[in-house]
Amino acid sequence: MAEIVLDKVSKQYPDGALAVSDVDLTIADGEFIILVGPSGCGKSTTLNMIAGLEDITSGELRIDGERVNERAPKDRDIAMVFQSYALYPHMTVRENMAFPLRLAKVDDKTVRAKVDEAARILDLTQHLDRRPSNLSGGQRQRVAMGRAIVRDPKAFLMDEPLSNLDAKLRVQMRTSVAKIQKKLGTTTVYVTHDQTEAMTLGDRVVVMRGGLVQQIGSPQFLYEQPVNLFVAGFIGSPSMNFVPARLENSSVSSPLGNFPLTDRIRTLLEDADAPREVIMGLRPEHFEDATLLDDTAMSGGATFESTVDVLESMGSDKFAYFTLEGEMATSAELEELAADAGASDLSADGTQIITRLSASSQAKEGHPARIWFDTDKIHLFDPHNGRNFTYAD
Amino acid sequence: MAAMTTGAKARWTLLDIIVVIYALVPVLWIVSLSFKTPATLTDGNFIPREWTLQNYADIFSTTTFLRALGNSIGIALISTLIAVVLGTMAAYAIARLEFPGKRALVGVSLLIAMFPQVSLVSPLFEMERSLGLFDTWPGLILPYITFALPLAIYTLSAFFREIPWELEKAAKMDGATPAQAFRRVIAPLAAPGVFTTAILVFIFCWNDFLFAISLTSTEASRTVPAALSFFTGSSQFEDPTGTISAAAVVITIPIIVFVLFFQRRIVAGLTSGAVKG
């Protein structure tokens, strides 16, 4: 177990491409930290640099206070779980899990005891003599975990370990990964492109984009206080709604109507010296069917009326989709997020808004509905650099 | 297969028999010749009228054939061993590493494979004579390795490319040195490729006639294919066909043994090689 410190760590490839730029990160002993971002954001490169599989171009990596930049992976005492599991196909499950111990020249008795212990934790005992090719995806994933935990490394590195599993198993394994990590208390760095995994697993989440760290914080903090447009759009599912908005003397005009700014937001905007044209963001759960609210509840927000395009009833909630006429919010960050979600070629007329309403809402597809939203929960972003004016530490 | 009709089955059987006959008739003919007496050698019967083991007794009674057999086995085994070891290392580097001149190296090795060997015989003859390699084992082993290496590198690099790189990274993370990762993870997985290559290289060295006849002059290093051409009958009026046939049958046996032995390894390797998921 150990503290891992990344001190201005950068990775530049020989062709000049900067994969990771000046990452500063202190991972506390026993912490579960998630690196998340769209593909190509440098999260895997960062992980590989911690592992020692890629050289660090500049900066310093310290494990337990010792500089390890120049150490080979085997001398860093770190275990890694790969996306493809990378099990040795010519060895049985037992041999796979014992491999790191054999290399470390541990005596047979200890090897047997440790493998049995790991197999018990991971529920693999009855599979110990099988080969990886005869195991299911979930079992292979557990063997890969087992190989990592048998030797009590200083840290675990996990490179999208669940992305090859089907959806149901992924949720199951997610919980067991979290449990095992809590039980062992080993420092863990986990890479994923799935924001749900990031939100549910980590003590802290590091959002990366284009080799740069965007924001580091607890999942809840990132959700409530995204530092910029990119983090706001990336964290949360369904994601935050974005519409263009115009600030006029302490009120906002937007496709969702005109409404006054709350005091909290006005103070923040004044400090931030915001321009007049901004992008407004609002999460789906901050909308509600206006017919369900009384006047006191309505007073803290504004309403708009529109036709429900699609209504999805989840049982516990209803998701209502609206299309707002008029121009869409545009920025480099939003385009990148859309491209990552594979939605960049979906040409929609107007802005699509997703709202989460109570299950008791009477809204119907194809019928107009009056929707209330909480004006104190809005985020206002700079359309040029994506900065969140309403961000407060 | 179970659902196959009798008609389809009959057609397949017929086709199989035709293919097998086409492939085996010349071989069986040689076998038949090797058991015939000199008198019935040219009678054209497929099954010998008079069986004799005299031809086999003849080839083993002189040192010519035995020496040649020893030379063949020794030279082919040594060449195969060296070519496979070098080829494995080269192929591994080609499959895994980006280094300057990689394309040139692959291109040149392909060039060697394309070069007509007959055009190299005269220069090789001159070079080996001045180097003192003519009519020695190394004099044959060296050119065999040269011509077997491109083949070995090509076959093996295809095998190495199929091994997921992450296995090597995993081995490194598990605490292996690069040498340990290669020996304990990569090499066992590449084994089927190594054995396939070994068979191909061995057959190439074993069957070579051109170099064997040109670069040797005495029994010191003459291999069986070359030695066969020096067979004579018991008198100059007698045709050595019977003894040549017997020798041809005998030298086929090591190849069959070699292939059968490694074939088991190839099958074992392939089944355990199922990776990923």
Tens-level pLDDT at each residue, chain A (393 residues): 689 999 999 999 988 889 999 999 999 999 999 999 988 899 999 999 999 999 999 999 999 999 999 999 989 999 999 988 899 988 999 999 999 999 999 999 999 999 999 999 888 999 999 988 888 888 999 999 999 999 889 999 999 999 888 888 888 889 989 999 999 999 999 999 888 899 999 899 999 999 999 999 999 999 999 999 999 999 988 899 999 999 988 889 988 889 999 988 888 888 887 888 999 999 999 999 999 988 888 888 899 999 999 999 999 999 999 988 878 888 888 888 888 877 655 556 678 899 999 999 988 999 999 999 999 999 999 998 889 998 887
The DSSP H or E segment spanning A355 is: strand A351-358
B172 touches chain A (CB under 8 A): yes
Residues A184 and A309 reside in one and the same domain: no
Residue at a domain's end among A229, A250, A266: A229
Residue at a domain's end among A203, A229, A255: A229
List of E strands, A315-350 = 317-324
CB A60 within 8 A of CB A51: no
What pLDDT does B271 receive? 45
CB A143 within 8 A of CB A123: no
What pLDDT does B187 receive? 84
Residues A141 and A29 reside in one and the same domain: yes
Residues A215 and A239 reside in one and the same domain: no
Residues A203 and A270 reside in one and the same domain: no
Residues A75 and A165 reside in one and the same domain: yes
User: Per-10-residue mean pLDDT for chain B, 277 residues long?
Assistant: 76 94 90 86 82 86 86 93 93 86 86 84 91 91 92 86 86 90 87 85 90 88 87 67 87 84 65 42
What pLDDT does A348 receive? 60
Write out chain A residues lying below 8 Å of B166, CB-based. Answer: 82-84, 86
d(CA A340, CA A147): 33
Residues A53 and A124 reside in one and the same domain: yes
- Hey, how many other C-beta atoms are within 10 angstroms of the C-beta on B135? 17
What pLDDT does B266 receive? 65
Strands A368-374 and A351-358, sheet pairing: unpaired
d(CA A361, CA A289): 6
Nearest to B57 by CA among B35, B42, B41: B35
- Hey, how many other C-beta atoms are within 10 angstroms of the C-beta on A289? 19
What pLDDT does B2 receive? 55
What is the DSSP-derived secondary structure letter of residue A156?
A: E
Residue at a domain's end among A229, A244, A261: A229
User: What six digits make up the tokens of A361?
Assistant: 């809402």
d(CA A53, CA A64): 19
Task: Spell out the domain ranges in chain B.
Answer: 50-272
Residues A193 and A251 reside in one and the same domain: no
Question: In a mutagenesis test of the A interface, which of B96, B174, B275 is the best target, namely the one with the most A β-carbons within 10 Å?
Answer: B174
Instruction: Count A/B contacts: CB-CB distance under 8 Å.
Output: 78
* Sheet arrangement for strand A18-27: A18-27, A4-12, A58-63, A66-67
Residues A303 and A169 reside in one and the same domain: no
> Does A131 contact B272 at a Cβ distance shorter than 8 Å?
yes
Residues A106 and A184 reside in one and the same domain: yes
Identify the CATH assignment for B50-272 out of 3.20.20.70, 1.10.3720.10, 3.40.50.300, 3.30.70.580: 1.10.3720.10
Question: In a mutagenesis test of the B interface, which of A90, A102, A133, A151 is the best target, namely the one with the most B β-carbons within 10 Å?
Answer: A90
The DSSP H or E segment spanning A380 is: strand A379-381
> Does A137 contact B176 at a Cβ distance shorter than 8 Å?
no
User: What six digits make up the tokens of A337?
Assistant: 């997020």
* d(CA B158, nearest CA chain A) in Å: 18
Query: Which of B175, B184, B277 comes nearest A137 by C-beta?
Result: B277
CATH code (residue A159): 3.40.50.300
B180 touches chain A (CB under 8 A): yes
d(CA A166, CA A120): 24
A125 within domain boundaries: yes
A350 within domain boundaries: yes
Residues A253 and A224 reside in one and the same domain: no
A19 within domain boundaries: yes
* d(CA A268, nearest CA chain B) in Å: 48
Dihedral pair phi/psi, residue B2, rounded to 5°: -65, -30
Residues A204 and A341 reside in one and the same domain: no
What is the DSSP-derived secondary structure letter of residue A127?
A: G
Nearest to A139 by CA among A150, A123, A116: A123
B169 touches chain A (CB under 8 A): yes
CA–CA distance from B255 to each of B18, B32, B194, B209, B260 (Å)?
24, 20, 17, 16, 8
What pLDDT does B275 receive? 43
Residues A246 and A210 reside in one and the same domain: no
What pLDDT does A298 receive? 85
The structural domain count of chain A equals: 2
Chain B's closest residue to A74, CA to CA, is B175
Environment class of residue A40 by beta-carbon count within 10 Å: exposed (0-12), middle (13-18) or buried (19+)?
middle
Query: Which of B172, B185, B188 comes nearest A73 by C-beta?
Result: B172
What pLDDT does B109 receive? 84
Domain extent, residue A377, equals 235-381
The DSSP H or E segment spanning B199 is: helix B187-207
